[in-house]
Structure 1
Amino acid sequence: MMQHDIQHLIFDYKTPFLLNALRESEHKSKRQGPGSDFYKKSVFLADPNPARIDLASSVTDPFESIYVKTFRQRSKLDVLTFIDGSDSMAIPGKVDLLSLSERSISCSVAARNDNYQSYLFSNSIHSVTDSDLLYQHYSPSENLSRHNTARAFKDLERLLPKRRSLIFLLSDFHWSNEKLNQVLNTLSGHYLVPIVIWRSTEYENFPLWRFVQIRDAETDENRLIFVTPKQKKLIESTFADRKIFLNNQFQRHNSRAFWLIDQFSAQNLSEFFHGH
């Protein structure tokens, strides 16, 4: 991928917590030292370091106090991406959005000099080092050979760093309530960003007055539906209700979802992190 293409994938992320680490990067840590982020001014007796005396503040202070500058060191952040490898993610178009998202996260983390790991959860756990693995996993030939519910999420905890980390969870979240709560509870000690990947073709533009076969990729059951205006509206409202439900569940676990429907945008991800 060319450099200018990579630049279009990079977004600016941040966490709501300070790190406690020694490794140098672009994130503020709890540790004070000669880093590049000014933290505060202190009186000399509280932090007696002659090398950091703030002459301007000391000379102009009417009480003739001596001040020193205190800085926060920068630290590396652990960033992880967990990818849902279940069959519902193999719907046409989803793997492209998934691959772009993972690539964008990887490039953004590299640009910030943070630590990065990416994993695909199917019936086992796979380390993701390039998008070829994703396209191979979701290929029709692979999905015809087995029913995949991504049961490896039950082993999620063993991959988690001991210190608080930034975790991206990429899925359509067509999960049972039990599985959803289990995964969210496991990740509750970290800064979780669920990226919900949907295709509008899953719930929009069904042809009226025709039989349409709909497969529930999580249960592997097929249903033949005759699409009436009422049935079409029911499908759309089901997804609308599901979106409300998921947002409520994420909020209960102190996280907020980034909704990715049909089109990926690194700019939108930057705005997500900065509250726009």
Structure 2
Amino acid sequence: MSPAHEFHYRMPSQVHGYRPGSHHGSNIGGGQAFATHARLFDHPDPRRLDLRASLRNPGREWLVRLHRQRSAVTVHALVDVSASMNFGSPRTKLDIAGDFVDSLGRSAFRVGDPVGLLAFDTALRDELTMPARRHRGAGAAMRALLHEGRRLAAQRGGSGAAGLRRAAERLGAREGIVFVVSDFHWPLNTLRGSFELMAPALVVPLVVWDPVELEAPSRNALMMVRDAESHERRALWMRPALRMQWRDAIRHRRAQIDDLCRAHGVRPLYLSGTFDPETLSRYFLEMAG
């Protein structure tokens, strides 16, 4: 994959990690961001001697410049592998999630961040988990796990996302970046509790919807629909009133997600049919601005 398929991300605030990386850190180290002056006696490194500040110092002591070290953060992708994520045409929502985690793995490796994967549906799926690591092939490994998750979702069925809370508990209240990738076709109370568990982290919800979900069929006709989670089938007569109800339901659901995210200080990013790395780069750029 070419660099154009990577995206750029940064923590908007200082991080407290000791491992060198690319994010603004709060610890004193070998960075370039000036932090403060200190006595040469306390920090005996004459290479950092500041003659101008030393001459102005009333105590007539030699002063050196101290800088803040850039630090690494741990990045996790929490991906919904429930049956509804197996829906989509020509590509499923799990395929789109696979594009994202592949790009995430490459982007994290470029800046020196460890990246890991946790998959969930009604439970936390340990067989689809990858611990955070620094590895050039992390993105491809996560994509392969989601491909396996697609096969298992087709066999397993079931609805709900109770496993999201278990995934949040697994991460613990730690600093980092957490991408929550799902279509969010489940009770949003699950998301509310998970946000609270992940409060120290920067949480980025990626809402993956298929274009077919967003727009009702234009023709007035009898159609058979099947619930992706329960596999229940029913007949619908598509008519203007139902088409309007369909659109209103989509708008209402989006407003619910937006309101819940806003209440927890995060902003969701909506993906429809494809993953565009440039869009995610702009998301982080706007956050920093």
Whether these two folds match at TM > 0.5 is yes
Q: How far off its partner does 1:65 sit?
A: 8.5
Q: How far off its partner does 1:16 sit?
A: 2.5
- Separation in 1, partners of 2:195, 2:86: 23
SS at match of 1:213: strand
Kindly tell me: are residues 144 and 162 of structure 1, through their superposed partners in 2, closer, same or farther at Cα, counting changes over 3 Å? closer
SS at match of 2:27: strand
CA contact (8 A) 1:85 1:148 kept: no
After TM superposition, the structure 1 = structure 2 runs for residues 50-129 of structure 1, keeping only pairs within 5 Å, are: 51=46, 52-55=48-51, 58=54, 67-92=63-88, 93=91, 94-122=93-121, 123=123, 124-125=125-126, 126-128=128-130, 129=141
Q: How far off its partner does 1:58 sit?
A: 5.0
CA contact (8 A) 2:173 2:197 kept: no
Q: How far off its partner does 1:29 sit?
A: 1.8
Q: 2:9 aligns with which of 13, 18, 29?
A: 13
Give the letter for the 2:102 counterpart.
Answer: R
Kindly tell me: are residues 172 and 86 of structure 1, through their superposed partners in 2, closer, same or farther at Cα, counting changes over 3 Å? same
CA contact (8 A) 1:32 1:70 kept: yes
Q: Residue deviations 1:162-190, cap 9 Å, x none?
A: 53111000001111133232322322232
Kindly tell me: are residues 175 and 150 of structure 1, through their superposed partners in 2, closer, same or farther at Cα, counting changes over 3 Å? closer
Normalising by structure 1, what TM-score?
Answer: 0.85
**What's the C-alpha RMSD, in Å, of the aligned pairs?**
2.7
CA contact (8 A) 1:172 1:197 kept: yes
Kindly tell me: are residues 133 and 14 of structure 1, through their superposed partners in 2, closer, same or farther at Cα, counting changes over 3 Å? same
- Separation in 2, partners of 1:178, 1:62: 58
Kindly tell me: are residues 219 and 37 of structure 1, through their superposed partners in 2, closer, same or farther at Cα, counting changes over 3 Å? farther
Q: Name the structure 2 match of 1:131.
A: 143
Q: Does 1:190 find its partner at 2:186?
A: no
Higher alpha-carbon deviation: 63-72 or 92-101? 63-72
- Separation in 2, partners of 1:215, 1:101: 27
SS at match of 2:174: coil
For structure 1, the 5+ residue unaligned runs are: none
Q: How far off its partner does 1:209 sit?
A: 1.3
Give the letter for the 1:107 counterpart.
Answer: R
- Equivalences, count: 269
Higher alpha-carbon deviation: 94-103 or 203-212? 203-212
Q: Does 1:257 find its partner at 2:252?
A: no
Q: Residue deviations 1:128-179, cap 9 Å, x none?
A: 533233223224x851453253442242244215531110000011111332
- Separation in 1, partners of 2:193, 2:206: 17
Higher alpha-carbon deviation: 194-203 or 127-136? 127-136
Q: How far off its partner does 1:229 sit?
A: 1.5
Q: Name the structure 1 match of 2:21.
A: 25
CA contact (8 A) 1:195 1:260 kept: yes
Kindly tell me: are residues 189 and 220 of structure 1, through their superposed partners in 2, closer, same or farther at Cα, counting changes over 3 Å? farther
Q: How far off its partner does 1:71 sit?
A: 0.6
SS at match of 2:21: coil
SS at match of 1:119: strand
Q: Name the structure 2 match of 1:167.
A: 178
Give the letter for the 1:138 counterpart.
Answer: R
Normalising by structure 2, what TM-score?
Answer: 0.82
Q: Name the structure 2 match of 1:199.
A: 210
- Separation in 1, partners of 2:80, 2:145: 13
SS at match of 2:179: strand
Q: Name the structure 2 match of 1:245.
A: 256
Give the letter for the 1:224 counterpart.
Answer: A
Q: How far off its partner does 1:11 sit?
A: 1.1
Q: Name the structure 1 match of 2:135.
A: none
Give the letter for the 2:192 counterpart.
Answer: N
- Separation in 2, partners of 1:178, 1:158: 16
Q: Residue deviations 1:224-255, cap 9 Å, x none?
A: 22111221121112111211110110111111
- Separation in 1, partners of 2:23, 2:96: 28
Q: Identity of paired residues, percent?
A: 23
